[in-house]
Structure 1
Amino acid sequence: MLATTNTTLKVSLESLPKELQGFTKRIIERTNYKKYDIEVKYFDTRGNNFLAEPYEIDITGEVAEGEKKTNIFVKWQIPQQNFKLLSIENVYSNEVFIYKDLSHIFTTLQDEAIVPQKDRYKIAKSYEETNNTAIILENLSKKGFRTYEKAEVISIKYAHLAIKEMAKFHALTFVIEDKLPEYYNNKIKVIKSPFTFEDDWAGLMRNICAHVASLYDNDVKERVKNFSSTLIEKLPKYYNSQNSVKCTLNHGDYKKNNLLVRMHDGEVVEIVPVDYQLIHYGSPIMDFLFFIFTSTDREFRKKHLTELKELYFETLSSFLKYFSMDVEAVYPRKEFEKVYTEWLDFGLMMTLHTSFFMFAPDTKMELGAVNLSDVPFCPDKKYDYLYRGLIDDFIEWGYL
């Protein structure tokens, strides 16, 4: 369930945290293995995931019916007690909610509506041992799924499938609001922004804007540098605007290295979103813009942005029909277009905001032990063209 170029290390079961050893043994007992072998692998993600230590646990053995294999993927929490930008406890509880609670609601609603398997929203199976310390899932890499690298170029087919899954995820929130209003009010609407926007964060944003500004040597340089003030003021407002726009549950981190893909003949044929740690209740435009601006370049957007926006709304509309719901009654096209235009600069702000994690090399630094505003921001130069494309888009559209 990770990018294929991560460094893999074989380790013993006994080297795992005691609690994870116990979870594994319980899964083995529940599966009724008569005898079995275990292989454990640890992944060095090169800084791609500072919130978790990822493991694969492969169990091969015999049950009463014959030979059996159980393939498990584990995200084991890395404590970051003083990390100010996010609450690590909250991001893990968010993911537990998705896999152990909301996924069952999604399944029930789609069963009742008789949504064909090929059209359903896809979510990885979790084990009951999943908790706020360990997210334990079926290892879909054993079924041919993988993730894209940060710099890997996506195809238009990939974008189509990703946008369709996103629209289904948002549509299911509208369905819950309609069919299960109490659950919606008590479980969905209460999920607030995962980020803490304080002075340390503001310092980091100024550093990021200063770096991007350094890529230019004309008047754009000052415009980008000064944009940090706008970003610091507006981004928290976008995250706290639940009462001013139509909202759904957002994935919150919907980018290409958080989407599992299955390939056939060199083309993506299936996508399964993962990594729900940054879920929040807000405008669905946020997920759409974040995906577009973190997962594509300027050339791709010039060719396909309008097409993908149309596809999103068309999928939202067609998926809601399975539940006898009219998109115009829950999210009118006019409102969608209005928010899209007014919120377009969220794509710029959020991409700059997250580029600290997406584009910077792994410094092996404990982020909970330092002020983010003091961390040197030196992204790999191979991402400069993405920054330039982002800035050039928003200059052309009149936001900078």
Structure 2
Amino acid sequence: MQVEEKHRDFDTTKVVCTSKELPCSLQESLEKIAQKEGYMNYKILSRSISTEGGNYMAMLYEVDIKGKTTSGEKETNIFIKQSIPEFSLGDVSEIYCRELFFYNEVSKVFTELEDEAKIPADERYKSAKSYRGSNSEAIILQNLAKDGFTTVFRMEVMPLKFAELSIQQLAKFHSLSLVMERRRPEFFEKKIKNLKQLMKFDEVNLDFCKKMFRTSVAILENETRKKLEDKYSQILDKYINYLRGDGTKFKCLCHGDYRMNNILMKMKEGEITEVVPVDYQIILYGSPMVDFVYFIYGATDREFRKNNLDNLKDLYYETMKNYLKYFEMDVNEIYPRKIFEDNIDECLEFGLLALLFLGPFFFADENEVPDLSKDDVAKHEINVDLKFKDRLQEVIQEMIENGRL
């Protein structure tokens, strides 16, 4: 991978900019970060990175600031998500403002609440450090890849340990929303409850949904395909209702895109030891079980669910129960087990809906991933990996046996 350099000597006013990738506004932000980090002179190394089809709404960069401080040599590793110029399925500025809102405000409230409850460091909700240079065009974060974090390839069945650690983080994220609602009621009322689903179901988005649905069902056997096609309007309405949280009585702040590729993992001696959720671009106020089901069905096969789903449900609930104890809150009063079980049961069919409308993105061949800043996604043909057919057929069979289809 070619490394493109930018550097600036702190005692001069001339900026040497050899990389054409990073705009001047980002260069200025990085210089401010360098100054705040105490660099006296430094150079900036930047390189674009690929997620092999795991990201669709940003250009991604790794940046290393290297130089001298009064304490000696120092290196700061940064990860940048730069917004694409246009995004046919939504408002780019609104998407990025929502993620900035998480890092600039929500995460700070989370930290305050955990500090007040004196939660041990290893029991806290994990998120990446954000730098103040972030703006509506780019998110600037700690580069966790330099600390050994990576992702599971988006088409693989997730490892069980990864699933367990990720479910525990999800339970803490949802729990912090419940705590925030009670300990920061004004903030919650004004800034969390109005976080609606960002996707607007206008003509463009409805065309996109139809395109993804047709791509999904085209790989199925004739009888199954016809059955789904005949129910398209009903299936679409259900999908939209889930995204909007219609009919959901129990709500909290949700991640909105809690899938395997949006969770970084760290390994030690072949064992997954830590995970950190990322990508808060579409956080919303909705059903926590949509997050849960979306995560499970997006990256597991039927055998995994048969062997582990019940245990993961128990793990989620027990994690929430134990975590809320730090705040002297009783999960049985806030989210009774019966309501929790009913919520999961009601949301299970979302696992199928998510695959029908988003599966082609999850399983797109790397060379077929559309450029959402250029391509008309309603017309772009996506070739999906053969794994998608097996996964989708398994979920459909599961839904038929459970009386949901």
TM-score band (shorter)?
over 0.9
- The answer to whether 1:122 aligns with 2:126 is yes
The partner residue of 2:220 within 207, 210, 216 is 216
Contact 2:359 2:388 in 1 (8 A): no
Tell me the equivalent position of 1:34. 40
Counterpart in the other structure of 1:376: 381
SS in 2 for 1:98: helix
The alignment yields a C-alpha RMSD, in angstroms, of: 1.9
Q: In the aligned structure 2, how far is the partner of 1:343 from the partner of 1:51?
A: 27
* Contact preservation (8 Å) 1:50, 1:78: no
Matched residue, 2:13: none
Residues 310-364 of structure 1 show CA distances to partners (whole Å, capped at 9, x for unaligned) of 1111111111111000112211211111222222211211232222322223446
Distance 1:80 1:316, change over 3 A: same
Count of aligned pairs between the two proteins? 391
Instruction: Please name the residue that 1:20 is paired with.
Output: 26
Q: Which runs of 5+ in 2 are unaligned?
A: 7-16
Question: Does the 8 Å contact 1:251/1:287 carry over to 2?
Answer: yes
Q: Which residue number corresponds to residue 357 of structure 2?
A: 353
Q: Which runs of 4+ in 1 moved over 6 A?
A: none
Tell me the equivalent position of 2:208.
204
Which residue among 42, 50, 60 is the counterpart of 2:66? 60
Q: Aligned pair in 2 of structure 1 residues 115, 71: CA closer, same or farther (>3 Å)?
A: same
Give, in angstroms, the shift of residue 289 of structure 1: 0.3
Residue of structure 1 in register with 2:136 after alignment: 132
Shift in Å at residue 277 of structure 1? 0.6
Instruction: Identify the match of residue 307 of structure 1 among 308, 311, 318.
Output: 311
* Contact 1:125–1:138 (8 Å) recurs in 2: yes
Counterparts of 1:205 and 1:364 in 2: how far apart (Å)?
16
User: Which residue in the other structure is 2:4 paired with?
Assistant: 11
Specify whether residues 154 and 238 from structure 1 end up closer, same or farther in structure 2 by C-alpha distance, changes over 3 A only. closer
State the identity %: 39
Distance 1:27 1:368, change over 3 A: closer
Cα shift at 1:247: 0.5
1:196-345 aligned within 5 A? 196-241=200-245, 244-345=248-349
Normalising to structure 2: TM-score of the pair?
0.91
Residue 391 of structure 1 pairs with residue 384 of structure 2: no
CA distance in 1 between partners of 2:45 and 2:105 (Å): 30
Deviation at 1:137, TM superposition (A): 0.5
Deviations 1:125-162 (A, max 9, x none): 00011111110001111111111111233221111100
CA distance in 2, matches of 1:53, 1:34: 29
Looking at structure 1, the residues matched to 115 and 394 of structure 2 have their Cα atoms a distance apart, in angstroms, of 43
Contact 1:211–1:377 at 8 Å: present in 2 too? yes
Aligned partners of 1:208 and 1:356 also within 8 Å: yes
Instruction: Write the distance in 1 (CA, Å) between the matches of 2:313 and 2:333.
Output: 19
- d(CA) in 2 for partners of 1:369 and 1:226? 32
Name the amino acid aligned to 1:11: E
Distance 1:365 1:166 in 2: 29
Matching residue's letter, 1:184: F
CA 237–364 in structure 1, closer or farther in 2 if over 3 Å, else same: closer
Structure 1 unaligned regions, length at least 5: 1-7
Question: Pairwise mapping of residues 173-184 of structure 1 onto structure 2 (< 5 A)?
Answer: 173-184=177-188
- Greater alpha carbon shift after TM alignment, 352-361 vs 61-70: 352-361
